[in-house]
Structure 1
Amino acid sequence: MQRLLIVGCSGSGKSTLGRRVGAKLGLPVVHMDQHFFRTGWEIKPDHEWNAIVDELVAGDSWVMDGNYSNTFERRIKRADTVIFLDFPTWFCVYRVLKRWLTHLGKTRIDAAPGCPEKMDFEFLSYVVNYNRRSKPKMLKIMQGFDGEFVRLKSVKAIDAFVAQLDEKRIAS
């Protein structure tokens, strides 16, 4: 495990898991949100974003969290492991609302600088519709993946996965 891609709905815990896995394996953690946005949630132009993604995936090792379906195929080609956080819609909605209230007016460590936590209809709609719209597309792309595929469906499963990373590291 040298290049891990963590995907799933917003609120599923991608960034938190990314930090945990990065710490366990001693790998750099890449939060895609930090690279996609400029200050004030301004989206970078496509040419700039694509160049950044190419540079990020070229690294020898990383734990990368974020869906960004327009770059997913390029990123999955470089990954040796894909972790898919597969949670029910209600859970993700609850978690993004909790995150919004907890970090209201503050910038989270996994967000781009100058992008304080916010909530709007477009984002909430994305979360509500993720399992119906985005998940099938992501799973279709993942079908052709020939590396290690891990599908986690509960917080307990995430904790067990992180715990077994110690066992894998000790065994190797």
Structure 2
Amino acid sequence: MKKIIVIGCGGSGKSTLARKLGIKLSLPVHHLDRLFWQPGWVSIDKEHMRELQEKIVSGEEWIMDGNYGSTLDLRLAACDTVIYLNYPTWRCLYGILKRRFHYRKKTRPDMTEGCNERLNWEFFRWVARFQKVQAPVIQKKIVACEHEKTIYSFSSPKQTEAFLQSLDKVKLQSSGGF
């Protein structure tokens, strides 16, 4: 696990998981939202976004979190591991509401400074419809590369946390620990 993408619905905890993985595996973490958004919620153009990701995926080790469907194929082709947070809609809606209150009038650690947390109807609706609209497309792309990549799909935060804990055990075993 040296080139990892973390994908899933907004509010599922992609950035938090990527950050934790980065610490556990000593890998650099790249949050796609931080790349895409400039201060004041001004987006960069899609071509520039692709160029930034091409530069990252040419590296030897990295973790990237975020969906950005227009560049998912690029990241899927370059990664060795896919982690898909396939949580229920209610859990993701809860996640974006919790995040909104937690980071009220502040910038999240995975965002560009000057992009204070916000929640608008468009994003709420995107999260509410994710399982019906985006998930089937993502799942189809994951299945297409399942023989070439290591795929992890988690349907609850409890499963994700168990996976993180299992990495500690693997690290101990590979270092000669108990």
Fold match by TM threshold 0.5: yes
Match of 2:105 in 1: 105
Query: Deviation at 1:169?
Result: 2.5
Greater CA deviation, 162-171 or 29-38? 162-171
Distance in 2 (CA, whole Å) between partners of 1:32 and 1:73 is: 14
Match of 2:137 in 1: 137
> In the TM superposition, what whole-angstrom CA distance separates every residue of 1:80-124 from its partner, at most 9, and x where no partner exists?
000000111011101101110111111011011210000111111
One-letter identity of the residue aligned with 1:165? L
1-structure distance, mates of 2:158, 2:119: 28
Q: Which residue of 1 aligns with 2:169?
A: 167
Query: TM-score if structure 1 supplies the norm length?
Result: 0.96
Q: Which ranges in structure 1 are unaligned for 5 or more consecutive residues?
A: none
Distance 2:50 2:95 in 1: 29
Letter in 1 for 2:97: L
**Match of 2:40, SS?**
helix
Structure 1: which amino acid aligns with 2:167?
A: L
3-state SS in 1 of match to 2:5: strand
Q: Distance in 2 between matches of 1:55 and 1:114?
A: 24
Counterpart Cα distance in 2 of 1:17 and 1:104: 21
Runs (4 or more) in structure 1 with deviation over 3 Å come to: none
What stretches of structure 2 of length at least 5 have no aligned partner? none
* Number of corresponding residues: 172
Q: What is the root-mean-square deviation of aligned Cα atoms in Å?
A: 1.0
Deviation readout 1:50-72 (Å, 9 max, x if unpaired)? 11111111111111110111000
2:33 alignment partner, SS class: helix
Letter in 1 for 2:114: G
